[in-house]
Amino acid sequence: MRHMAIMNKLLLSAVTASLLSVTTAQAGDIVNVYSARKEALIKPLLDEFSATTGIKVNLITGKADALLKRLQVEGSATPADLFITVDAGRLHRAKEAGVLKPVSLPVLENSIPQALRDSAGYWYGLTLRARPIIYSKSRVSINELSTYEALAEAQWDGRICLRSSQAVYNQSLVAATIDALGAEATQGWVEGMVNNLAKSPSGGDTDQLKAVAAGVCDVTIANTYYLARLINSSKLADQAVASKLAVFWPNQQGQGVIGRGAHFNVSGAGFTKYGKHPEQAKALLEYLASAPAQAWYADINNEYPVVAGVEISQALKGFGDYKMDPIGLEVLGQNNRQAVQLMDRAGWK
């Protein structure tokens, strides 16, 4: 009994001591990052950056809107220097919320195309993510496919799987379509697709791909890196799923909005307004846009690089070249609220 009490005290002091040693942001040659990119998809790059520059990177990952809220509440006292998200709409939202500041980086302005960064330098895109149509090779003939809009037609009745409208990727797709077609036509398109659903939306993009492969439905809309991951997987079950699927790049032909190109989005980063380590943050951002880092994204997560001349993964090469919708990415942020309301009205869960 006595021993138990001593043990308990020891344990309590060990716990307290170890937790107290977790301090907030230390001073020195550091940079503090709030990242909506998952740890596994950014930490190796940050470690590499620290190893080459000697700048220590402190990281908090989380959901973009929650991190944005934290930035807002912390205000001028925030320790964060860089804000990283996986969606341009969220970067725009951060800019609107007044937590970012414009920074001019000539190196990046030269290497990253204008369309993939904020014109005033509030944020820079770091990777490209395309969201085309993915279909079952055995049950869909390529002649049936043409545009995103065509998925609302009656021939697709009961043949579509879609992820929930909670997913920011779908919100951005609808936001981009509002920009191209206008709200009214987009409403009709979304309603048509929802009517054509084979099952109520659930799960992530990978689940939709598996559903198409299993025959639950014939087509879906998903980010390409999920398919590429299945292709590269060492698991036979994943490879079997991937072997039944193919990518179709929609809206490639025709005049005007019909041929506007496939929907894409960027993951990117912006400088916080009250960051205390601007030089280190600049160095980190330049590193994230450098050729080795860009090759890492392409290699590890099958994302398209934003700078020219970087090799893409074998899986991505297999998907072929495509034309991108030349939309200004801030539109994704501007139309986000309208897009969600529209999906609510259409009953897209």
Burial class of 61 by CB neighbour count within 10 A (0 to 12, 13 to 18, 19+): middle
What is the Cα–Cα distance from 293 to 45, expressed in whole angstroms? Answer: 7
Nearer to another protein, 86 or 324 (CB): 86
Alpha helices by DSSP H, the chain: 2-20, 43-53, 64-74, 88-96, 106-111, 168-181, 183-195, 205-214, 224-232, 236-243, 278-288, 291-301, 314-319, 330-334, 336-346
* Segment interacting with another protein, rule: CB under 8 A, options 146-154, 260-268, 287-295, 334-342: 334-342
Q: Mask: binding to another protein, 149-168, rule CB under 8 A, as x and -?
A: ---------------xxx-x
Nearest to 88 by CA among 112, 60, 58: 112
User: Which string of x and - marks every residue 63-102 that binds another protein (by CB under 8 A)?
Assistant: x-xxxxxx--xxxxxxx-------------x---------
Instruction: Out of 149, 205, 218, 330, point to the residue binding another protein (CB under 8 A).
Output: 205
Residue 74 or 144: the one with the smaller Cβ distance to another protein is: 74
CB of 12 to another protein, least distance (A): 7
Q: Does 52 bind another protein (CB under 8 A)?
A: no
Strands 219-221 and 160-161, by their bridges, are parallel
The distance of closest approach from Cβ of residue 252 to another protein in the complex, given in angstroms and rounded to an integer, is: 27
C-alpha 326 chain-centroid distance: 18
Query: Per CB under 8 A, does 7 bind another protein?
Result: no
User: What is the nearest approach in angstroms of another protein to the Cβ of residue 289?
Assistant: 22
Rounded Cα gap, residues 64 and 172, in angstroms: 14
Q: Name the DSSP class of 259.
A: G
Please give the angle made by the CA atoms of 330, 334 and 339, to the nearest 5 degrees. 120
270 binds another protein (CB under 8 A): no
Shortest Å, Cβ 113 to another protein = 27
Q: Are strands 123-130 and 133-136 parallel, antiparallel or unpaired?
A: unpaired
Which C-beta is closer to another protein: that of 131 or that of 210? Answer: 210
| Binding footprint of another protein on the chain (CB under 8 A) | 11-12, 14-16, 18-19, 22-25, 32, 38-41, 58-63, 65-70, 73-79, 93, 164-166, 168, 171, 200-207, 210-211, 213-216, 226, 235, 241, 336-337, 340-341, 344-345, 349
